[in-house]
Amino acid sequence: MMNLSEHELREHYESVNEQLARYGVKFGIYKNGVFHEQLFPFDMIPRVIEHDEFKYLERGLKQRVKALNEFIKDIYSDRKIISDGVVAEEFIYSGSGYLVQCDGILPPENIYSHISGIDLVQGKNGSWYILEDNLRIPSGASYPMIARDLCRKSFPEAFEKNHIEDNRNYAELLRSTMDYVNTGGLTVILTPGRFNAAYFEHSYLAEQTGARLVTCEDLKVENDYLYFIDYSGKKEKVGAVYRRISDEYLDPVNFNRESLIGIPHIFDIYSKGNVALINAPGNGVADDKGIYYFVPAMIKYYLGEEPILNNAPTYLPYYEEDMEYVLENFDSLVLKDVAEAGGYGVVFGNKMTKHEKENFIAHLKSEPRRFIAQEVIDFLDIDIYENGNAVPRKADLRAFVLMADEPLVWKSGLTRFSRNPDSFIVNSSQGGGFKDTWVMAE
């Protein structure tokens, strides 16, 4: 395994982070309506996943993404999982991710979640747990891509001595995924623009895949097809759009009429099969934190298999029995708002004051569908380099699963860690950092 002295570690740490800053590897967040952009701190000590362990994760991730795709297809067509009583009808239609406009629409090749970001944590007992499924616009693959490239240049001896899976094929996998559903024409990556939180990733993936990076001003729907219009006015047909814009802003005619970053009527031609949208609109019905509770049942229902990877133990206050459990065990649980993301809306029962607890419970009882509760998993601590020392911190792993004819799991991933020794929240928006993920080859 990588065996560097403290001096070498410090030297490489500073060198790689300086290069990341030079390349503009940043993320942005809005606070109080103001856009703030900051560097995403990189840690030099890699997370190592052994070959056999990753094969196990790979099987479980493929299984999960297959079931989630079947679920989305079912919800927008036959709704058998509802009629068979596996998932409550009210639970589906009351969720913010369900889009009635998507009913009856089949995307090209019947694929909904082309790129899935599945968040996992490893407990101190060695078991892995799924924390969250991200099926709308999962981000983060660009960071381990560029970090690995810079690390290879900074200390190539580490990659000569260790048998590590090469993660530089993500762009090739992504391009193949986009081409698989392309209806004929250019492939483009649609960005909201420079002030989007993940703009670095949009531009980097466009460069790596050879896709055009475009904004809404570059695209126009004409005669039931989508066209890219260049600076000279030349038009080229577009067959696939990897859109990095939320559903509600994608098409001001069909969704939010105040959107200034969408393309009028793009949803209309998508519904006719004339362009592929990656990921498909309406996927939010499956990555709602409440729907997460039902994924093990989905795997059994659609695939006839037992789940390979477990959810974190989860309770739905929506159900009376679960509400009773949550109230009785409030202090030992973590509560999550299903409408929030990025580490927001997460509270720990034992961290609340008496007054905060009373207010939260009143809110929970009035809007039980809005929250889930989970047992607190004691994450495995992994070392990070801080102030000249290796110190343990909580970390998760975002695995990327790409779906074409079959799901493929990228042999890498985004390992995020908390820089706060007392925090379980690792999101970049909450001040976390990231590190390379070494998947060991056979």
SS (H, E, C) the chain: CCCCCHHHHHHHHHHHHHHHHHCCCEEEEEECCEEEEEECCEEEEEEEECHHHHHHHHHHHHHHHHHHHHHHHHHCCCCHHHHCCCCCHHHHHCCCCCCHHHCCCCCHHHCCCCEEEEEEEEECCCCEEEEEEECCCCCCCHHHHHHHHHHHHHCHHHHHHCCECCCCCHHHHHHHHHHHHCCCCEEEEECCCCCCCCHHHHHHHHHHHCCEEECHHHEEEECCEEEEECCCCCEEEEEEEEECCCHHHHCCCCCCCCCCCCCCCHHHHHHCCCCEEECCCCCHHHHCCCHHHHHHHHHHHHHCCCCCCEECCEECCCCHHHHHHHHHCHHHEEEEECCCCCCCCEEEHHHCCHHHHHHHHHHHHHCHHHEEEEECCCECEEEEEECCEEEEEEEEEEEEEEECCCEEECCCCEEEECCCCCCCCCCHHHCCEEEEEEEECC
Range of lowest pLDDT (5-19, 53-67, 93-107, 130-144) = 5-19
pLDDT band at residue 23, thresholds of 50, 70 and 90? confident
C-alpha 411/C-alpha 208 separation (Å) is 17
C-alpha 118/C-alpha 67 separation (Å) is 13
C-alpha 360/C-alpha 349 separation (Å) is 10
Which residue type occupies 281? P
pLDDT at 296: 97
Find, among 256, 425, 306, the residue nearest to 63 by Cα: 306
pLDDT at 6: 54
**Phi/psi at 407 (5° precision):** -70, 140
Place of tokens 């990556």: 189
Cβ neighbours for 352, distance < 8 A, ≥ 6 positions apart: 360
pLDDT band at residue 358, thresholds of 50, 70 and 90? very high
Q: Angle CA(339)–CA(344)–CA(204) in degrees, nearest 5? A: 95
> What b/e string do you get for 360-369 counting C-beta neighbours within 10 Å, with b at 16 or more?
bbeebeeebb
Q: Looking at the predicted structure, is the pLDDT value of residue 316 above 60?
A: yes
C-alpha 127/C-alpha 125 separation (Å) is 6
Tokens of 37: 């952009």
Under a CB-based contact definition with an 8 Å cutoff, are residues 296 and 311 in contact?
yes
Farthest CA pair distance, the chain: 67
Interval 244-263 mean pLDDT: 97
Cα(first)–Cα(last) distance of the chain, in Å?
14
Under a CB-based contact definition with an 8 Å cutoff, are residues 41 and 68 in contact?
no
Under a CB-based contact definition with an 8 Å cutoff, are residues 188 and 240 in contact?
yes
C-alpha 218/C-alpha 39 separation (Å) is 29
Range of lowest pLDDT (112-116, 268-272, 378-382) = 378-382
Q: Looking at the predicted structure, is the pLDDT value of residue 380 above 80?
A: yes
Tokens of 164: 């590590």
C-alpha 150/C-alpha 189 separation (Å) is 24
Q: Looking at the predicted structure, is the pLDDT value of residue 248 above 90?
A: yes
Interval 400-410 mean pLDDT: 97
**Phi/psi at 5 (5° precision):** -70, 165
Strand partners, 361: none
Look up the pTM and report it: 0.93
User: Which one has a higher pLDDT value, 270 or 31?
Assistant: 270
Give 150-168 pLDDT, tens digit per residue: 989 888 888 888 899 999 9
Tokens of 440: 């060991």
Mean pLDDT of the chain: 91
pLDDT band at residue 176, thresholds of 50, 70 and 90? very high
Under a CB-based contact definition with an 8 Å cutoff, are residues 146 and 23 in contact?
yes
Interval 63-75 mean pLDDT: 98
Under a CB-based contact definition with an 8 Å cutoff, are residues 407 and 66 in contact?
yes
pLDDT band at residue 5, thresholds of 50, 70 and 90? low
Q: Looking at the predicted structure, is the pLDDT value of residue 110 above 80?
A: yes
pLDDT band at residue 387, thresholds of 50, 70 and 90? confident
User: Which one has a higher pLDDT value, 361 or 21?
Assistant: 361
